[in-house]
């Protein structure tokens, strides 16, 4: 089983090997830090490794043929043809298996680009099964075709053609985020209002989190049903959302306070626990973050 880092995979590869396996996708970068990779594998295979991109990078993946399974973060995910996946990267190990005749498109979106598009960064993973005729699927197929024809290692892509590829990538993202937003709105109005109230209550204080029982009671739901609907509405578990926002608050506080003061304000009695949580979220320690911004 091959072992790799994700940045080794998502880079430009020589034309003679690009597209020969999942280790060597057709990859291309575009303005704004956008990175696209097209994966094609005729045979079933396995690989393992670790994600080493920055913690705020968002992945948009479209499974175009075949199926695959991934284990990461203690969870196993299985994806089929026409599945759309939106997820945020984190520094962790993974294992991956794909079927024969597998192909997929993946777009990496940096946080600044998401901000320019007024799209909130995802704290969890969102999956939606699309129809073959869905515009997100059609555009992703066109982008995969573009990447296979315009590998930058073998030729200098003309500027107009580069704009075409960039346009296809942005259009795919637009359809992808719109599709997942539509899924979130499928809940009826009353439940959606209750869940939003629970979300606001959850994020009201970052030094103490309410219990699942307390949040579920706000919606008159059992804890199990509450967690299920919360994940459907917001794309992640309640405490995953809480921790993501808690760490974003930490980044803001670190502009004015030291690490110990920040940890205490966020309810941590042990500074090392805070530092470990911060590093899991962003890929670097609080003190390093301060050195980068101050």
Looking at per-residue pLDDT, the higher value among 241 and 185 belongs to 241
* pLDDT confidence band for 277 (50 / 70 / 90): very high
Q: Is pLDDT at 175 greater than 80 in this prediction?
A: yes
Q: Which band of pLDDT confidence, cut at 50, 70 and 90, is reported for residue 31? A: confident
The pLDDT of residue 181 is 64
Q: Is-contact 168 139, C-beta < 8 A?
A: yes
More confident residue, 247 or 113: 247
284-293: average pLDDT: 87
CB 225 within 8 A of CB 235: no
Reading phi first (left if > 0) and then psi (alpha if -120 to 50, else beta), residue 11 is in beta
10-29 pLDDT, tens digit per residue, is: 888 887 888 888 888 999 98
Indicate the helix (H) or strand (E) that contains 253.
helix 238-253
Identify the pLDDT of residue 153. Answer: 46
Specify whether the CB–CB gap between 96 and 46 falls below 8 A: yes
Percent of the chain with pLDDT over 70: 89
Percent of the chain with pLDDT over 90: 44
DSSP string over 83-142:
EEEEEE--S-EEEEEE-SSEEEEEEEE-HHHHHHTT-PPPSSEEEEE--TT-HHHHHHHH
Q: Which of 161, 163, 169, 73 is nearest to 117 (CA)?
A: 169
C-alpha 216/C-alpha 229 separation (Å) is: 10
33 alpha-carbon distance from chain centroid = 15
Higher pLDDT, 35 or 116: 35
What's the confidence (pLDDT) of residue 272? 95
**What are the residue ranges spanned by the domains of the chain?**
2-184, 189-293
Here the tokens at position 54 are 């920055």
Task: Return the residue matching tokens 């930490």.
Answer: 250
The chain-wide mean pLDDT, for the chain, equals 86
pLDDT 10s digits, 40-93: 998 888 888 888 876 678 899 999 999 999 888 777 888 999 999 998 877 788
pLDDT of 210 > 90? The answer is: yes
Find out if CATH 1.10.10.60 is the number for domain 2-184. Answer: no
CA nearest 117: which of 73, 174, 78, 37? Answer: 174
Order of all β-strands in the sheet with 45-50: 2-5, 45-50, 93-98, 68-72, 75-79
pLDDT category at 253 given cuts 50, 70, 90 is very high
Looking at residue 186, its pLDDT comes to: 59
pLDDT of residue 17: 84
For residue 203, the Cα-to-chain-centroid distance in whole angstroms is 21
Q: Which residue has the higher pLDDT, 115 or 176?
A: 176
pLDDT tens-digit profile of 99-155?
A: 999 999 999 998 888 777 777 666 667 888 888 999 999 999 999 999 988 655 444
CA dihedral sign, ordered 71, 73, 74, 77: negative
Name the packing angle between helices 238-253 and 223-234 (round to 10°).
Answer: 60
Domain topology for 189-293: Arc Repressor Mutant, subunit A (1.10.10)
Name which of 42-56, 94-108, 181-195, 219-233 the model is least confident about: 181-195
* Whole-number pLDDT of residue 155: 44
């Amino acid at each position: 089983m091959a072992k790799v880092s994700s940045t080794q995979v998502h880079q430009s590869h020589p034309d003679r090997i690009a597209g020969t396996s999942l280790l060597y996708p057709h990859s291309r970068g575009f303005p704004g830090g956008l990175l696209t990779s097209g994966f094609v594998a005729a045979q079933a295979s396995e690989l393992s490794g670790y994600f080493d991109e920055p913690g705020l990078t968002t992945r948009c993946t479209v499974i175009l043929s075949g199926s695959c399974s991934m284990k990461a973060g203690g969870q196993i995910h299985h994806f089929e043809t026409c599945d759309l996946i939106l997820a945020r990267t984190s520094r962790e190990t993974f294992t991956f298996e794909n079927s024969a005749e597998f192909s997929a498109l993946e777009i990496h979106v940096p946080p600044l680009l998401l901000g320019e598009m007024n799209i909130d960064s995802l704290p969890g993973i969102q999956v939606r099964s699309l129809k073959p005729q869905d515009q997100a699927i059609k555009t992703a197929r066109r982008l995969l075709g573009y990447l296979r024809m315009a590998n930058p290692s073998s030729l200098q892509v003309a500027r107009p053609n580069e704009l075409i590829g960039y346009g296809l990538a942005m259009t795919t993202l637009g359809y992808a985020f719109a599709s997942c937003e539509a899924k979130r709105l499928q809940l009826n109005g009353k439940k959606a209002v209750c869940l939003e109230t629970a979300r606001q209550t959850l994020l009201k204080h970052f030094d103490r989190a309410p219990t699942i029982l307390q949040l579920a009671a706000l919606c008159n739901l059992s804890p199990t049903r509450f967690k299920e609907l919360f994940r459907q509405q917001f794309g992640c578990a309640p405490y995953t959302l809480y921790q993501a926002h808690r760490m974003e608050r930490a980044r803001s506080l670190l502009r004015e306070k030291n690490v110990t003061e920040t940890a205490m304000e966020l309810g941590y009695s042990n500074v090392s626990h805070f530092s470990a949580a911060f590093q899991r979220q962003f890929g670097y320690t609080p003190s390093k973050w301060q050195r980068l911004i101050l």
